[in-house]
Amino acid sequence: MDSYIGTVSSRSWPSSCSARLRASASASTPASQCPGTEEPSDAHRRVAGAPADAQGFLERRACPRGLREHAHGHHAEDPAALYVVRGSGTIRLRPADQARPFLEKVHDAARQQAVGWVDRAEKYWNARRYDAEHVRDGATALRFALHTEPDGQVTGCALYRSRGNTAHIVELAATDLRAYASLRYYFINLDARDDLTYEGAPDEVLPHLLHNPRAARTTLVDNLWVRLADVERALAVRRYAAPLDVVLEVEDAFCLWNTGRYRLQSAGDTVKCERTRSRPDMRLSATELAASYLGGPTLSALAAAGRIEELRPGAVTSASRAFRGEREPFHVSGAAFPAF
């Protein structure tokens, strides 16, 4: 099957939080893989993208009251507190083999509501569960926590491991806020663990659920890199937040066939993108286009940095508004696997 977007992962390098940064890159073809390096490689520079991850560090001692939580119909002491009702579900640890079917189901449901999550092939799940001692970096074996509703339905899952007094959440997925809050509450109250590290989108909701949001410290790191291998098809299959009629002049020094002018028209669910000889409204490279493709970094911000040239007044503003997403894109697996 042809593909116009491909993704692979790269290695990570140390962060100031003692956790590891996560980086993933997209390649021009589905099966290609960027070689891992301790710093961004030439291969990374050939793909287009931008940081789209929040490296989180949560100090449990700084948030002894945990999540903001109270029953429906009652006001919290803090008028800005969120209504977070964890419900009556339970969280239990399960062996990897027993947990896997539920992990797949929850992940597939959660990704329908997220941007940047991808479907997983069999080899991907095998890689996710791979837990030989040499990959643990001195930490414990992977543990699998499942959140189960009273009716038996599993609505949340988390993979984590511990090292010293720190628990690292490798991956967390939930189908609703209650399951999400329950899993976060579980980790905040995990015995013998003072700190948590985790990865999330730049607009991760956890800090908003804490009585002391300052207990969660975040650092932006590389996570999701996108390569549009077929610009015309890629722009035509996505949906836009506002009506749009713009001519883009794209330069792509790596996938040379992408270089050219495209007229992009969008009205609701009707989207049309085709090559044109019309005068361009804005000029940009494949890097800026791909960075904005999933609705993350805005075209306006990139233009303000001088990375996009506006050739028709107002073109960047209207295009930026149309490309913008409701939530920040995030790749839940970070740089964990070269399994694509």
Tallying the residues shown for the chain, one arrives at 340
DSSP state of 32: -
Mean of the per-residue pLDDT values of the chain: 77
> Both tokens of residue 210?
């804490």
Give percent of the chain with pLDDT exceeding 70.
71
Q: Is the pLDDT of residue 62 over 90?
A: no
- Give the residue among 196, 207, 243 at the shortest CA–CA distance from 57: 196
DSSP state of 97: H
Q: Are 196 and 167 in contact (CB under 8 A)?
A: yes
pLDDT of the residue at 209: 87
Strand partners, 143: 160
Strand partners, 94: 144
Lowest mean pLDDT among 54-63, 148-157, 304-313: 54-63
Most confident of the following: 27-36, 61-70, 142-151, 177-186? 142-151
Q: Is the pLDDT of residue 183 over 60?
A: yes
Which ranges of 80-131 would DSSP assign to H, the alpha helix? 96-111, 122-129
Residue 34: CB atoms within 10 A of its CB come to 25
Is 296 buried (19+), middle (13-18) or exposed (0-12) by CB count in 10 A? buried
Residue 232: CB atoms within 10 A of its CB come to 18
Given the structure tokens 């007229």, which residue do they identify?
A: 263
At residue 8 the predicted structure's pLDDT band, cuts being 50, 70 and 90, is very low
Q: Which residue has the higher pLDDT, 25 or 89?
A: 89
> How far is residue 38's CA from residue 203's CA, in Å, rounded to a whole number?
27
- C-alpha of 297 from chain center: 13
> How far is residue 223's CA from residue 244's CA, in Å, rounded to a whole number?
29
Q: Are 224 and 22 in contact (CB under 8 A)?
A: no
> Both tokens of residue 77?
């002491």
Lowest mean pLDDT among 45-59, 73-87, 179-193, 270-284: 73-87
Q: Which residue has the higher pLDDT, 27 or 208?
A: 208
pLDDT of the residue at 210: 85
> How far is residue 242's CA from residue 258's CA, in Å, rounded to a whole number?
25
- Give the residue among 222, 224, 218, 278 at the shortest CA–CA distance from 246: 278
pLDDT of the residue at 208: 87
Q: Is the pLDDT of residue 318 over 90?
A: yes
> How far is residue 66's CA from residue 68's CA, in Å, rounded to a whole number?
7
Amino acid at 147: H
Phi first, then psi: give them for residue 48, nearest 5 degrees.
-100, 145
Q: Which residue has the higher pLDDT, 22 or 328?
A: 328
pLDDT of the residue at 155: 96
Task: For residues 61-74, give the mean pLDDT.
Answer: 43
Helix H or strand E encompassing 256: none
pLDDT of the residue at 9: 32
Ramachandran area for residue 163 (φ above 0: left; ψ -120 to 50: alpha; else beta): beta
The pTM score is 0.75
- C-alpha of 197 from chain center: 16
